[in-house]
């Protein structure tokens, strides 16, 4: 390494063309210390007991109950007529089952909303949590055009449109 002198007698103004290795060695020593400290930590592992799960499919079919309301306000529980007063008892008895059945409501287009809301509130008050609606395809188009609904000899298959909002 070349060191400059403080001697003013020698008026040689030459440049030192050597690389200063001291900062590079300092960085290398710091990295070496870091690796020496962290290497033993990487070798140790922590044992965790993860619970094992079985991937057997559910064999139980979900039970569903069809609740139909006609234009005159008549209520049908799985295609058999039932009085609105007896409906609460049916809701309470099925609300205690595990798993709870899904109540699928199919109402006529001319059914009063008041009766539908009363039945939904009765189901919620009885502890039932799964409530869905069955709609017939094309019923929206008839309502938009104002044309009267015509009875088809073979009604279109109904589809469950989704879960009802919480009341």
Within 10 A of 128 (CB to CB), how many other CB atoms are there? 21
Give the pLDDT score at 61. 73
The answer to whether 78 and 106 are in contact (CB under 8 A) is no
Q: Would you state the pLDDT for residue 109?
A: 86
Helix H or strand E encompassing 101? none
For position 18, what pLDDT does the model report?
Answer: 83
pTM above 0.75, yes or no: no
Residues ≥6 apart with Cβ < 8 Å to 134: 66, 104, 105, 106, 158, 159, 160, 161
**In which region does residue 38 sit, left (phi positive, over 0), alpha (psi from -120 to 50) or beta (all else)?**
alpha
Q: For the chain, first and last CA: distance in Å?
A: 86
Whole-number pLDDT of residue 88: 87
Q: Which fold has domain 64-139+158-163?
A: Nucleotidyltransferase; domain 5 (3.30.420)
DSSP for 116-163 reads HHHHHHHHHHTT---EEEEE-TTHHHHHHHTPPPPPPSSPPPPEEEEE
> For the chain, what are the domain ranges?
64-139+158-163
Three-state DSSP class for residue 84: helix
Q: What is the pLDDT of residue 56?
A: 77
Q: Which residues share a beta bridge with 75?
A: 69, 82
Q: How would you write the pLDDT of the chain (167 residues) with one tens digit per residue? A: 555 556 556 566 777 778 888 999 999 999 999 999 988 877 777 788 888 887 777 677 778 889 999 888 899 998 899 988 888 888 888 888 888 888 899 988 888 889 889 999 998 888 888 888 888 776 554 544 444 444 444 444 444 444 444 44
């Amino acid at each position: 390494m070349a060191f400059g002198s403080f001697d003013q007698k020698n008026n040689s103004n030459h440049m030192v063309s050597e690389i200063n290795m001291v900062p590079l060695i300092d960085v290398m020593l710091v990295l070496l210390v870091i690796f020496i400290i962290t290497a033993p930590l990487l070798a140790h592992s922590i044992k965790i007991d993860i619970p094992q799960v079985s991937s057997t499919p559910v064999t139980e079919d979900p039970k569903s109950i069809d609740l139909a309301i006609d234009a005159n306000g008549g209520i049908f529980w799985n295609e058999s007529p039932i009085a609105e007063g007896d409906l609460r008892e049916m809701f309470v008895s099925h609300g205690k089952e595990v798993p709870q059945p899904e109540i699928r409501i199919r109402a006529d287009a001319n059914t009063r909303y008041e009766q539908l809301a009363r039945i939904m509130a009765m189901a919620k008050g009885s502890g039932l949590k799964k409530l869905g609606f069955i709609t017939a395809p094309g019923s929206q188009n008839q309502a938009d055009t104002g044309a009267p609904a015509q009875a088809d000899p073979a009604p279109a298959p109904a589809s469950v449109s989704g879960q009802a909002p919480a009341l």
